Structure 1
Amino acid sequence: MDVKLVDRGEEGELILSGKLEASNSAAAEELFLKQADRFTNITLNMKDLKYVSSAGLRVIKRLYLKVRGNGGELSASNVSDYVMEVFEMTGFATILNFK
């Protein structure tokens, strides 16, 4: 998985591409939580994210908890139909803000 960062002041946008899965979840978690310390609000741009596994969902949940704990909001944008289906089946569709 590749991640690009766009700095928008208090909001950071993480542009994700590839797959968020067990093989890269530890590195993704480290990067995501570092950004949660830097930005109040974070948007995950999933335009090019093809797949998310249960390990990837765990990383997103930890990011969500950290951002909310800091008084911010975690949003998702450009979510593919497949990833949205995963979010709906797991309840993530009710906790994330969608742009």
Structure 2
Amino acid sequence: MAGTWQTLSAADPNAGTLASVDTSLQETKTEVPSAMVRIGDTENPDLKGILVLSDTDKAMVLPKVASPHLNIIDPAPGLVVYDTTAHQIAVFNGQGWSFWGPK
């Protein structure tokens, strides 16, 4: 129905009951604790982590944001960006911003 909101959740707020959800496919699967994503060098199996960026001649490029402490409204703890105004790295620790750059 064009122009009307449709609920996407399993619960129907108007009915006051939970909708039926088929989870049978998920119930047959187990989580693999060793699962990871590796980008770059796949020859070194000793690299541990959920996301591993590994290469000998490439590096990660951070998102670029002008004055992130002013322009990112609700930063998540651990957020890391490159501040294009101050030319330094900005890290949000959940309480405040830290800035890393040359002295």
Identify, as 1 or 2, the structure richer in helix.
1
Q: TM-score, normalised by structure 2?
A: 0.21
Which is bigger in relative contact order (C-alpha 8 A, separation at least 6)? 1
Larger radius of gyration: 2
